[in-house]
Amino acid sequence: MKRYLLLAALIVAACQATADDEPMCKKRKPGTIVSVNQYCAIVLDDPVDPAVVVEWKGQKVGLCCKGCMPKWEKLSEAERDAALATAVAKGEIKD
């Protein structure tokens, strides 16, 4: 049991540490989601992290981890619109 908790803590830490760990970010993050999307606009299977929000056309766009920020920045305007629309269409997070 203790081992499992340690592992979970390590996964959470890794999630925020590098850009290559998004597959580990499947879990719902603590905090209240204020973005228009509840699933990450980059990694559509991952719930957004309320602490990772970018502004886009006056809206708050949620991402699942900081690793997604540079990926979002690289998208064109049309790609951002499409990514956000897809993420919003996924609806609310299901635990």
Return the number of the residue (6 or 70) whose C-beta is nearest Zn ion. 70
Closer residue to Zn ion in complex, CB, 6/26: 26
Taking CB under 5 A as the rule, which mask of x and - marks residues 36-75 in contact with Zn ion?
----x-xx-------------------xx---x-------
Using CB under 5 A, count the residues that bind Zn ion: 6
Contact 81, 67 (CB under 8 A): no
Distance CA 78, CA 91 (A): 21
Residues 6+ apart with CB under 8 A from 67: 18, 19, 20, 21, 22
- Give the Cα-Cα-Cα angle 14, 77, 83 (nearest 5 degrees): 50
Q: Of 13-21, 32-40, 53-61, 83-91, which part binds Zn ion (CB under 5 A)?
A: 32-40
Contact positions vs Zn ion (CB under 5 A): 40, 42-43, 63-64, 68
